[in-house]
Chains A and B, each alone.
Chain A
């Protein structure tokens, strides 16, 4: 069965510091992988996605993620975090029908 694990429930980083949010997935075939961001009381915004090809994917707002098949991981990174990046981040895996399975989410706090 498909599943997504985000090991870190809450992460706090200082503004300007680098960020890495972890995501591990379980999926039998080649996965479609996504990272979404959710601000409090809001819907989801797609940061980036991976379907195939280059394993390093660039997204919006300066985020990137790297697909590592050997580690079943799709970690999200940002070199320098801004206060406005504070939000909930969800990793998700999808099948070809578009059905998404979400991880538990990682709440990011940014210290001034």
Chain B
């Protein structure tokens, strides 16, 4: 099946710094990518929907200036957590779909665990 890769898998940073997480579709072109956030022992919450070449659509309550999403190519989306604080520590997971209307082709990355000290 199709592969979605996230990098880095683990990142530890100091409070106030920015962290970039990459999501790549390795063997297919992802027209749409989704970013989710998961707190310990909790479910995944959709943060934003990212379409190649256009601005991301953020879910209610998600700060777009804090969580910058860029989807510059059909194989890469990035999530930048700006001025990170300890409350941003979480597990971030991306998913990618090959087409906008076929929900069967939805693949998840392995996730990136962010710890802000």
Contact = CB atoms under 8 A, between A and B. Distances in A.
Contacts of A100: 34, 36, 44, 46, 95, 106
Contacts of B111: 41-43
A9 to B, nearest CB: 9
Interface residues of A, number: 23
B97 interface: yes
A96 B108 contact: no
A96 B103 contact: yes
B49 A97 contact: yes
B76 to A, nearest CB: 17
B108 A44 contact: yes
B42 interface: yes
Interface of A: 32, 36, 41-46, 49, 51, 90, 94-105
25 contacts: A42-B110, A42-B111, A43-B108, A43-B110, A44-B44, A44-B93, A44-B95, A44-B108, A45-B108, A46-B106, A51-B103, A90-B44, A96-B101, A96-B103, A97-B49, A97-B103, A98-B102, A99-B34, A99-B49, A100-B34, A100-B36, A100-B44, A100-B106, A102-B44, A102-B45
User: Which 7 A-B residue pairings sit nearest by Cβ, starting from the closest?
Assistant: A43-B110, A44-B108, A98-B97, A43-B111, A102-B43, A102-B44, A94-B103
